[in-house]
Structure 1
Amino acid sequence: MSGYNSTEDTTVTVAAGQAAVLSLPPLDSYPPPSVTWMADDGTYLRGIKYATTEPNSRFVILSTQASDMKTYSARITNTQLGIEEVSGGFTLVVEGEEAGEEVAPSIIVPPTNTTIIKDSSIAYLQCIANARPMYQLQTLWFKDDVPIELSGVTFSFNGLWNRTLSLLQADLHYAGLYRCQVRLLSSIDEPLLAEAHVTIHERPRLIKPLPVETYADLGKTLTIACSVAGTPLPYMSWFRDAINVNTLHDNRYRVLLNGSLAISGVQVNDTGMYQCLASNDAGETSAYTWLKVKTSAPQMKVAPENMTVLDGQDATIRCQAGGAPQPNITWIFNDSLELVENGHYQILDDGDLLISSVHSRDEGKYTCLRANEAGSISQDAWLSILVKTQISQPPVDTRVILGRVATLQCKVSHAPSVSVHVQWSHGSSIIQSEGNPRISVRSDGTLEIQEVRAADVGLYTCVVTSSGGNETRSALLEVIELPYAPSSVKAVRTPLIPKSVRVTWTPTFDGNSPIEKFIVQKREVPTEAAIQDLGLKWVTVLTNVSAAATDAIIGDLRPSTGYQFRVSAVNNVGEGSSSQPSNIVVLPQEAPSGPPQGLVGSPRSSTEIMIQWEAPLEEERNGIVLGYMVRYRLHGYKDSQWYYRNITKEGPS
């Protein structure tokens, strides 16, 4: 890391409630340095008010207020070299009165178009927004207009406020339009949107490796294929003995549109090492082959051998030969039938014969014939089929929702003349299906369990016995269910955030399926009388609380009102039951937010006037009205004095 030159102090001025952005100049360091921001009074700069951008380490202070007026600096560290420097100070000046009213959302740092290398470990998109109150600010992410949770990409959020979207192990389907949506939960205004395109590049990769050796016929045209894939489409270069063929000034060498190298009229001096190099913006890959120009009669390298194979298994009869040109291959069964490739027979590139799922009819003599222009060679092998009882479709680990049907297969292949017995056990106990209506074993050996319970969880073993052999296979059965209700739900007022309550809880059993989110509900309750559940309606206030959270801030509550809260958990099965209601939290009274209603006056005598009014609207009282202040003065006299009278009683007068 070269010397950090910008140590001059800077003053940053913002209006109260707006965001302040502190920016460092470009940092000349390899590897990129670690940047930590500090305040001159030692304040711990963490929480909802603070954000750091990737990758240029700008520091953002959101919803500024007078208490944010400090001097900030950055500690810049090259962890590899052990070098550390400190930037100049950024003195923050916050102007304007802090009225505490809402500040409309604004996106300070929008996501930017990003290119990701396929299968890279992690990539980031940021969407940092400002508003007041911050705890009412909601940030949601979408990919191609689909909520990020349903888009099929693997992601995580760095922090509780969804500002940084981390894309993990990006694949090609991660490409698309990503959009962040920002709004205040307490506002009915349209949300703010910002978007960025994500492009996925894939490093070049070989689809099919080049052979170690390539044989060419004299005077003929040879095409060496180099099949590669990548995004964007890789650029292909070919080299002969480390020299680019385009510099050989020999028009016999041509790089085709598909990336293959064509050599016309092969000559003896074309012998050598040929290397293809595929490159694009994401990287490069290469492969090589040795070109040999000669002719020779076939020679058997790996000869076919007699073999015995179990019925139903695959059999590979080896037959590998060398020669120039490369010998062709012909397989003959029982001296009469020439085999052709189909779903049962496959002739591999090296000449071996692959027989899939052998049967008794495949037993017999197999002849391998290798031939080229210089000659031919052949050799025989006998294939014997051994019929053995075996589990062809074993049970597999299974997860079943509580109360549904679980099936564990155990299908057996055996000779028709062999009698087979299938026995299931659960743990160390043998399963007796007779007399148990919930458990049965089908004729094909499949175990079926109706109305699965928690007691059914465990290891299940299928034991097959017969005169043709025995086999045992096992699988685990898991039962998943709705998560249990969270416990210890408590609610406390938040003095620093008006009209809000902090709700905490303790997660419990997740039903053997990871918790996906929590749901929080509230209800208004009497502040003095006993609580009657009937008629007290629960209202959902938060529907997507992070599975890692154990608390939430509930805002926009009514003063002088009692509240209770409850929490439920959601997993892959669904939403579990709600917790027991929390303790009652009563918000403090506030000054009435509306005036008395229907003020009228009428004369009582030559010296008296009676005035009457109605109490403020119930939702505007914000508590118990203790009295009224009446002001009056003579009409028609400019600048006449106002007189006051306190009416210390509630209700109309």
Structure 2
Amino acid sequence: MCQVNTDPMKSRQGYVQVVVPPSIITKETSTDMVVREASNVTLTCKATGYPEPYVMWRREDGKNINYNGESVNVVDGEVLHIVKISRLHMGAYLCIASNGVPPSVSKRVSLRVQFPPMLSIPNQLEGAYIGQDVTLECHTEAYPNSINYWTTERGDMIVSGNSVSGEKYEAISTDSGYNKYMMLKIRNVSLKDFGSYKCVAQNSLGGTDGVIKLDEIPAPSTTSTTQSPYHATSPHKNGRNSNKKSRQRPFDYEVEEWRNPDYGRDYGPASMRPPGEVPDVQSPGVSHRAQFVLHLSLSLLSLLLPAIRR
């Protein structure tokens, strides 16, 4: 208050408001948690500041939160209560406090959900022929991370490179969070390689396995399926060209060459027809000159027949 001692006294009052940026109270805020799947989980976050901070929860990776049956991006309030938590809730959560006075603050809480191994097999039956390389696949989920391996039908554990000459097997495992992708490559498959293979996953909460059967299939044929083309010869056995091979054509057509048996001269191009059919003298493959000679011969024969009879 500013005061002037006059008669009457004069004064003026002023008000000072002190703002305080938010601050998270560590002792009253949840820390990293590891819980069993299907249990209930409560995360708490406390903050101070002036004005009173606004507190909210969200996932660090930006994904939505399955909260009370709804998929939401942000949960308002100091308490995040999840009923029947699942592996889908696993991840890092951020508690964010703000009150309009910069800077805003946040606290990271890691939430881990434990569950026994589970697996899925894309193809339970695989086929391969002798000499082929084949790959078997298996997908598993587990937390804590599981120990994964392959076994044969007899129960022997498969180790990469356990072959006398070179590496017979190659086992590969790729992790992505609580997911694990298993792959077993079998090189140069032989008769003894056919049978059942088992992918196994185990952690401190339990274990599981799945069976993949490898069957033999016929090897692809390496011989050519194309038939040899026909080698058609002249239909006139007594002609000069009776031993001459004709030009080759595809197997579904037969080639005949029409020739004069007396002079060995060609009359027009070779005709092409399906095998087994009788050639038609009127077909386009026979030249007009050959047709003329044929008709002339028939006419002369009809004139000579009466004289022969007499």
TM bin (shorter chain): 0.3 to 0.5
TM-score by length of 2: 0.40
The structure showing larger relative contact order (alpha-carbon pairs under 8 Å, at least 6 residues apart) is: 2
Q: Which has the higher strand share?
A: 1
Q: Which of the pair has more CA radius of gyration?
A: 2
Q: Which has the higher helix share?
A: 2
